[in-house]
Structure 1
Amino acid sequence: MKLSAALDVDVVALESADELTVLVELVAPEAPSANRPPTALQVVLDRSGSMSGAPLDGAKKALAGVVAQLDPHDVFGVVTFDDTAQVALPASTLMDKQRAADAIRAIETGGCTDLSSGYLRGLQEIRRAGESAGIRGGTVLVISDGHINSGIRDVDEFAGITAKAGSKGIVTSTMGYGRGYDETLLSAISRAGNGNHVFADNPDAAGAAIAGEVDGLLSKSAQAATLTVRYDQRVQELALFNDLPAHQIGDGEVMIELGDLYALEERKLLLRMKVGSIAALGLTELATLQLRYVETASLVEHTVSLPVVVNVVPGDEPAGRVPDPKVYSERLYQEGQQDKLEASRAYEAGDIDGGTRRLARSRQKLEYAMQEARPEDRAAIADELAMLDRFGISAGALDSVYASKAMRASYHRTNRKRGRRH
């Protein structure tokens, strides 16, 4: 795994408080050259009445494609849920793909929406089958089109369950299908579960989203990745721009959960450090970054460390310093992402005017980010600006439900999994 860090400014004034922004970039290892190790995927599929017809047929078609794509030694299972959970396909290795395809084809719609019963049953299945096949961890993919009306509905309680599963190596990803699901709940449980959250508005988009999740799973080269930041007592405050699970694990020590990474995946994280006065001139180490991960091919744990160092100079010397454009642009970009999240929340609550104002602020921040960005980074920001314009048009046409869900999924890609290519 490659790990690098850059400061917006790397000189600070003697005996003066300051604020620094740290851009952390990492690149996952290449895929193993030999045959990849077996993986485990457990699908938890909403089969409530609202999934009847094209939505369920599209999901079943996509899952049949997953079966064809997986290796016979991979573990795969499907649990469905309406007001109760049912094991449609017991999790096991795919030695009999026809049996798996037939089980998926036989799924029919039911009644209400109790996601928690389906998710908990799915966890049981992937743990049982994974242990039997000697597979460490795995992925649970939740597919739902509705607001939860039975079982666990509290966001924090549900997120606590997926976080606990994540601590055991089981990643939880979610796909919101159509325009009736609860984007707050689904995005929160994927965040806590170190997974991905995507929005699919129709069967074709759902098929593409499911296929993309499986592509990432099959090319996974690192798992259980964490970034621990150990910071000096002179760092009075440490904040993370990315909306990732972070835990204070000791005095001056924060651990950020990164989850799994696919081959050569790039990630960007942004930290803000408020620094108190430093009484000595010269190079000063303010923090140490420690990246830990398990290489998927060998299951060997690796550790990579990197110091964060500033140069303390006399008080008048930093007066003309110019922030690193790459780091400054990333900060503006992430501030724009936060405004986009607030716009999504406003649209979700039916506040179209408030959402439109926040969307305009997001666009302004991204325009500033574009001005500061390196030429090679401008195309991605231009794409993001065009997407914001489409969101604004959708919301202005009174389709704020679509805008809210599309923005929540976009926020996941551009903030939580910044740099992720799918």
Structure 2
Amino acid sequence: MKFSAALDVNVVAHEAADEVNVLLEIEAPAGPSTTDRAATALQVVLDRSGSMQGAPIDGAKQALIALVQRLDPTDVFGLVTFDNEAQVVIPAAPLADKADAIERIKAVYPGGSTDLSSGYLRGLRELRRATGDADIRGGTVLVISDGHVNAGIRDADQMADVTAQSAGDAIVTSTLGYGRRYDETMLSAMARAGNGNHVFADNPDAASAAIAGEVDGLLSKVAQAVSVTVHYEPQVQSLQLYNDLPANQIGDGQVMIELGDLYADEQRKLLLRLGIDRLSALGLTQIARLELQYVEMPDLVEHTVTVPVMVNVVPGDEATGRVPDPTVESERLFQEAQDHKNKAAKAYESGDVDAGNEWLTQSVLRIDHACAIAPDAVAGPIADERKEIRRMRAMAHEAGANVMSKMAYHSYHEQNRKRGRRRS
């Protein structure tokens, strides 16, 4: 696992308040061959409420059949459906009889209301039972829903607490919002707290592609329970994480950031801001230590990689006129653009298209600035993001607030929470 840190400025003022931005980059190794991979566990929780009637349920069933065909007999698979209550369609177990699983998927039909919590909790119980029997560590729950929750637990924060507890047991929760009527706040919050992915699929083809992408990651997993702990010195007065990831204070001067699982060749970026004050010793000084911890697959070996964060403390007049590193500075601007995109998503969700568009305009301004200073090595993805935000802004009035909210939340998840992800 490659792990590095770069500062926007490495010279700070002596005995004065100052701040530095730190860009963390993580790159996962190539995975083993498919014949050598460890068995994996996937529990699908599928909305079969009445709104799934027709193309949505048919498309989801076809995607799940394709999923089953890709799994190995040793992989654990289960399917729970839900409407006003949960139903175990395929008990979670090693997938020894694919033909039977496919026939059970084909027999799923739409029902009544939408009690997502009953389906999710039942799916969790199935996954925990099956992985305990199969001696598999953790697993993934994939929630597929097209509607707003109208039964069971309806509070997004409460559901996020449940998925966060599952993440502590190495169970990742990913969510797929299907169509234009689902609750993006609920599904996005569940994925964030569950260290998983959140995807918006507007039609059956997009849903099939999203499910296939989730399986791609699952089958190429090389690291579980990935976290970065920031151990900072007392002179660090504040710590800000730009990425919207689960982070907890675990002791004096220690904050742990959860990243979930990493796939083969996957890259991730995190951006921190450290506010420092009154560094009294001139010269090279350590202000923090970054500790990357993960469990390597398939052998379940735990690893720790440590990187120090050093600054050069100089007299105040020597610190003036600093020029920030363009790679780190362009990332800061990129993440400020994501913050504006998230505010746009919330404005669209409230029905205010004009306010959403204004936030996207502010996002584009940050991205334009980032494009102007970004080195060639990082300019491509930033330019692609500029095109995407401009495209979203141009289509906003025609698409409407409901669709724009879902698009913006989906894009924010990719570019802020999963920033830097690139799969071979």
State TM-score, norm by structure 1.
0.99
Q: Which moved more, 1:236-245 or 1:87-96?
A: 87-96
Is the Cα contact below 8 Å between 2:353 and 2:400 reproduced in 1?
no
- The aligned residue for residue 350 of structure 1 is 351
Matched to 2:89, the amino acid is A
Quote the offset at 1:375 in angstroms: 1.3
CA–CA distance in 2 between the matches of 1:82 and 1:368? 47
- Residues 104-149 of structure 1 show CA distances to partners (whole Å, capped at 9, x for unaligned) of 0000000000000000000001011111111100000000000000
Matched to 1:134, the amino acid is D
Matched to 2:63, the amino acid is A
- The aligned residue for residue 214 of structure 2 is 213
- The aligned residue for residue 91 of structure 1 is 92
- The aligned residue for residue 400 of structure 1 is 401
Is the Cα contact below 8 Å between 2:265 and 2:422 reproduced in 1?
no
Q: Report the 3-state secondary structure (helix = DSSP H, G, I; strand = E; otherwise coil) of the residue aligned with 1:104.
A: helix
CA–CA distance in 1 between the matches of 2:382 and 2:7? 21
- The aligned residue for residue 111 of structure 2 is 110
Matched to 1:251, the amino acid is D
Q: Report the 3-state secondary structure (helix = DSSP H, G, I; strand = E; otherwise coil) of the residue aligned with 1:320.
A: coil
Q: Report the 3-state secondary structure (helix = DSSP H, G, I; strand = E; otherwise coil) of the residue aligned with 2:136.
A: coil
Q: Size of the alignment, in residue pairs? A: 422
Quote the offset at 1:16 in angstroms: 1.4
- Residues 300-342 of structure 1 show CA distances to partners (whole Å, capped at 9, x for unaligned) of 0000011000001122112222100000000000000000010
- Does residue 411 of structure 1 match 2:412? yes
CA–CA distance in 1 between the matches of 2:297 and 2:45? 24
Is the Cα contact below 8 Å between 1:394 and 1:402 reproduced in 2?
no
Matched to 2:175, the amino acid is T
- The aligned residue for residue 18 of structure 1 is 18
Matched to 2:116, the amino acid is L
Quote the offset at 1:54 in angstroms: 0.4
Q: Which moved more, 1:126-135 or 1:392-401?
A: 392-401
- The aligned residue for residue 198 of structure 2 is 197
Matched to 1:202, the amino acid is N
Quote the offset at 1:398 in angstroms: 5.0
- The aligned residue for residue 272 of structure 2 is 271
Q: Report the 3-state secondary structure (helix = DSSP H, G, I; strand = E; otherwise coil) of the residue aligned with 1:316.
A: helix
Q: Report the 3-state secondary structure (helix = DSSP H, G, I; strand = E; otherwise coil) of the residue aligned with 1:307.
A: strand
Matched to 2:198, the amino acid is H
- The aligned residue for residue 29 of structure 1 is 29
- Residues 49-92 of structure 1 show CA distances to partners (whole Å, capped at 9, x for unaligned) of 00010001000000000001111100001000000000011111
Q: Report the 3-state secondary structure (helix = DSSP H, G, I; strand = E; otherwise coil) of the residue aligned with 1:32.
A: coil
CA–CA distance in 1 between the matches of 2:397 and 2:334? 24
- Does residue 385 of structure 1 match 2:423? no
Is the Cα contact below 8 Å between 2:139 and 2:170 reproduced in 1?
yes
- The aligned residue for residue 243 of structure 1 is 244
- The aligned residue for residue 308 of structure 1 is 309
Q: Report the 3-state secondary structure (helix = DSSP H, G, I; strand = E; otherwise coil) of the residue aligned with 2:132.
A: helix
CA–CA distance in 2 between the matches of 1:396 and 1:376? 35
- Determine what percentage of the aligned residue pairs are the same residue: 62
- Does residue 3 of structure 1 match 2:3? yes
Any runs of at least 4 consecutive aligned residues in structure 1 with deviations exceeding 3 A, and if so which?
Answer: none
Q: Which moved more, 1:161-170 or 1:385-394?
A: 385-394
Quote the offset at 1:296 in angstroms: 1.2
- The aligned residue for residue 61 of structure 2 is 60
Q: Which moved more, 1:315-324 or 1:338-347?
A: 315-324
CA–CA distance in 2 between the matches of 1:3 and 1:383? 25
Is the Cα contact below 8 Å between 1:23 and 1:271 reproduced in 2?
yes
CA–CA distance in 1 between the matches of 2:20 and 2:383? 27
Quote the offset at 1:419 in angstroms: 1.1
Quote the offset at 1:32 in angstroms: 2.1
Is the Cα contact below 8 Å between 1:394 and 1:400 reproduced in 2?
no
CA–CA distance in 1 between the matches of 2:322 and 2:387? 33
Quote the offset at 1:372 in angstroms: 1.3
Matched to 2:191, the amino acid is S
Q: Which moved more, 1:252-261 or 1:315-324?
A: 315-324
Is the Cα contact below 8 Å between 1:29 and 1:222 reproduced in 2?
no
CA–CA distance in 2 between the matches of 1:315 and 1:365? 29
Quote the offset at 1:408 in angstroms: 0.4
- Residues 160-195 of structure 1 show CA distances to partners (whole Å, capped at 9, x for unaligned) of 000000000100000000010111110001000000
CA–CA distance in 2 between the matches of 1:356 and 1:368? 19
Q: Gaps spanning 5+ residues in structure 2: where?
A: none
- Does residue 69 of structure 1 match 2:70? yes
Q: Gaps spanning 5+ residues in structure 1: where?
A: none
- Residues 11-57 of structure 1 show CA distances to partners (whole Å, capped at 9, x for unaligned) of 11111110110000011122024610000000000000000100010
CA–CA distance in 1 between the matches of 2:386 and 2:11? 33
Quote the offset at 1:400 in angstroms: 1.8
Quote the offset at 1:394 in angstroms: 2.5
Matched to 1:97, the amino acid is K
- The aligned residue for residue 422 of structure 2 is 421
Matched to 2:132, the amino acid is E
- Does residue 289 of structure 1 match 2:290? yes
Q: Report the 3-state secondary structure (helix = DSSP H, G, I; strand = E; otherwise coil) of the residue aligned with 1:199.
A: strand
Is the Cα contact below 8 Å between 1:346 and 1:352 reproduced in 2?
yes
Quote the offset at 1:402 in angstroms: 1.1
Is the Cα contact below 8 Å between 1:288 and 1:306 reproduced in 2?
yes
CA–CA distance in 1 between the matches of 2:277 and 2:314? 14
Q: Report the 3-state secondary structure (helix = DSSP H, G, I; strand = E; otherwise coil) of the residue aligned with 2:316.
A: coil
State TM-score, norm by structure 2.
0.98
Quote the offset at 1:376 in angstroms: 2.8
